[in-house]
Structure 1
Amino acid sequence: MLENKLEKMEKTLLQATKDSSAKNTKDLLIVQNRLYAQLESLSWLQRRLSIQGQLPPLRGWATSPDFLLKLHTHVMASQPKVVVEFGSGSSTLVTADALRQNGFGQLFSIEHSSHYGKQTLDTLIAENLQPWVDLRVGELEAWNKHHLCPSDAEKPPFWYPERLLKAIEGIDLLLVDGPPGGTCEFARYPALPALFERLNPGAQVWMDDTVRQEEKDICQRWADDYGFNLEYYPLEKGLGILSRA
C-alpha cells in the first residue's frame, strides 16, 4: 500500500512539473512576442522619423514604440493643423517630426513638470523642432468643475492651469497621456471637458494606457457624455480612440 501511495505521489509531482514547465514556456513566448512587437514598431518608427539623434528611453512609464508608430503614421496621413497633448516626452518629438514632414501644423504640449518640460525642450531644440511646438509648463492646480473623482477621495482632483490652454482653438487631434495616474482617481478625466468646445467636428481624442481600468472608464464616460464612437486598440499599454461618425 505504501508503494502505491509513493507511486501515485510521484506521478502527481511529475504531472505538476510538466504543467509548470508548459505554463512557463507559454509565458515566455508571450513576453517574447510582446518584445518583438515593440522592437518591430521601433524599427519602422525610426525609418519614418527625420530626426538626427535618438529617441528618449521608451520603457517604464514612457510611451511605447507601437503607440508612437501609430501616432506618427496618423499625423502624416490625417495632416492635422492643431494638435494638443497632455504630457510631454517622446510623443512630442514624434508628433513634431510628423508635422515638420507635412510642412504645416502646430503642437501645443501641456506639461506639469518643469524637469520633464526642460528635457523635452532641449530635445526639440537639438532637433530643430522647436518651431513646431508650443510647449507650456505649469504646476497642477485644483479642479473645481465636474469630475469622476469621488467627493470623499483621499486626493482631490487636480488639473493643468487654465492659463496654459489660452488661445488654443480648432483642435484636430487631442492626445491624453497625463497627468500621472497617481495624482488622483480618474486623473485624466478633465481633458475633454476642458477642451471639448475647441475641438473641430472631425477631431479625434487619443487616450494612452487603456490597459488600466481607470482610463477605460474615462473613455467610456467621454463617449457617453459627448457622443463619440469609442474603439480600443490592443497596443502594449492600450489605446482608446474617440471619434465622431
Structure 2
Amino acid sequence: MDGSLARAVADLGAWLRLAPLLTEYLPFPERALRPSALAALLDEVLVGNRTVLVELGSGPSSVVLARLLARRGFGRLLSIEHDERWAAFVNLQLRREGLHHLVRVVHAPLTPHPAALDGLPWYSPTLVRDEVTAYVERFGLIDLLLVDGPDLPTAPPAPTTPSAPLGEGNPGLVRYPAMPVLRGALAPGASLLVDDVEASAAVLNRWADEYGTTFRRSPTSGLAHCVLAPV
C-alpha cells in the first residue's frame, strides 16, 4: 500500500471514530489537522489524562476538542491563532454550542519575534506571554501542547544558507519559537504534538539537538509526538 493510499484509509477510519463528536457541520480547510491526526490528538488527551491544553493554530480541532472536554467533564484549552477571521469563526462556533467557557481562542498576529530564526515571524510576543502566564496561573502547567501553526509553506522549504538575507531563510523553521517560548510553562511529562511532520522536519531536528526531544513520527497521520522529560 503506497503512502497516499495508507493515509486515505487511515483518514476514513478516523472519520468513523470521530463520528460521535461531529454533531454538526464544521469546515475542514486544507490547513486543518488530518482526521487521523485529530483522532490521535483526542486519544492522547484521553489516555494521557491531559487537562491543561494549548494549541498553536486554531481550527475545527478546537471545536472538536471542546466537545470532548465537555463530554469528559474536565479540562481547558487555550488556542493561539494568527488569522483574525478564523479565530472569530471558532469563537462564534464555540459560543453557539455553549462551549466557550472551556476554550479561549486568542487572535495573535504574526510579528517579529526575538526567539524566531532567520527573521521569520511568530505570534505576538507580548500577547502570547500575557495569555500563557494568565492561563498557567489559573489552571496549572501545560500538559499537552499541539503545534499546528503558524502555517507552513506548501512546498518543501529550501535549506537555509549563511548568505540568506534576514527573513528569507528556511520558512519551514517558522514554528521553531514554540519550544523556547513555552518550554518553561510545560509540565514534566507533558505531551508535545507537531503537525505536518515532513514540512516540520527542520524544526523537529533542531529541538532534538537543543532540548533532547525524541519524536515518534507518523507519516500516516502527519503528526510527530514526544513526551517531555523534566527540565
- The normalised TM-score by structure 1 is 0.76
1:228 aligns with 2:195: no
**Amino acid corresponding to residue 49 of structure 2 in structure 1:** Q
* 1:176-224 CA distance string (max 9 Å, x none): 0111124944110001111000110011111100122xx1121121122
Among 204, 216, 229, the residue aligned to 1:219:
204
* Aligned residues of 2:117 and 2:173 also touching (Cα < 8 A): yes
d(CA) in 1 for partners of 2:182 and 2:57? Answer: 15
Among 189, 192, 199, the residue aligned to 2:179:
192
Provide the secondary structure at the position in 2 that maps to 1:168.
helix
* Aligned residues of 2:192 and 2:228 also touching (Cα < 8 A): no
Q: Name the counterpart of 1:172.
A: 143
d(CA) in 1 for partners of 2:37 and 2:23? Answer: 21
Q: Name the counterpart of 1:207.
A: 194
Among 4, 14, 18, the residue aligned to 1:41:
14
Alignment root-mean-square deviation, CA:
2.1
d(CA) in 2 for partners of 1:119 and 1:239? Answer: 25
1:83 aligns with 2:86: no
CA separation of 1:112 and 1:38: change in aligned 2, threshold 3 A = same
CA separation of 1:124 and 1:207: change in aligned 2, threshold 3 A = same
**Amino acid corresponding to residue 188 of structure 2 in structure 1:** P
Kindly name which structure, 1 or 2, has the bigger radius of gyration based on alpha carbons: 1
**Relative contact order, CA 8 A, sep 6+: which one is greater?**
2
**Amino acid corresponding to residue 214 of structure 2 in structure 1:** N
How far residue 141 of structure 1 moved from its aligned partner, in angstroms, is: 1.2
Gaps of at least 5 residues in structure 2 are 154-166
d(CA) in 2 for partners of 1:99 and 1:79? Answer: 11
CA separation of 1:165 and 1:56: change in aligned 2, threshold 3 A = farther
How far residue 101 of structure 1 moved from its aligned partner, in angstroms, is: 2.1
Among 120, 129, 132, the residue aligned to 2:102:
132
d(CA) in 2 for partners of 1:68 and 1:178? Answer: 15
Q: Name the counterpart of 1:157.
A: 120
d(CA) in 1 for partners of 2:129 and 2:70? Answer: 23
* Aligned residues of 1:52 and 1:127 also touching (Cα < 8 A): no
Gaps of at least 5 residues in structure 1 are 1-25, 150-155
Among 32, 45, 50, the residue aligned to 1:62:
32
* Aligned residues of 1:76 and 1:101 also touching (Cα < 8 A): no
* 1:142-171 CA distance string (max 9 Å, x none): 0123x443xxxxxx2211112233223200
Q: Which has the higher helix share?
A: 1
5 Å-filtered alignment, 1:12-23, equals none
1:181 aligns with 2:152: yes
d(CA) in 2 for partners of 1:74 and 1:38? Answer: 17
How far residue 31 of structure 1 moved from its aligned partner, in angstroms, is: 4.5
* Aligned residues of 2:172 and 2:202 also touching (Cα < 8 A): no
1:243 aligns with 2:224: no
Provide the secondary structure at the position in 1 that maps to 2:79.
strand
How far residue 134 of structure 1 moved from its aligned partner, in angstroms, is: 1.0
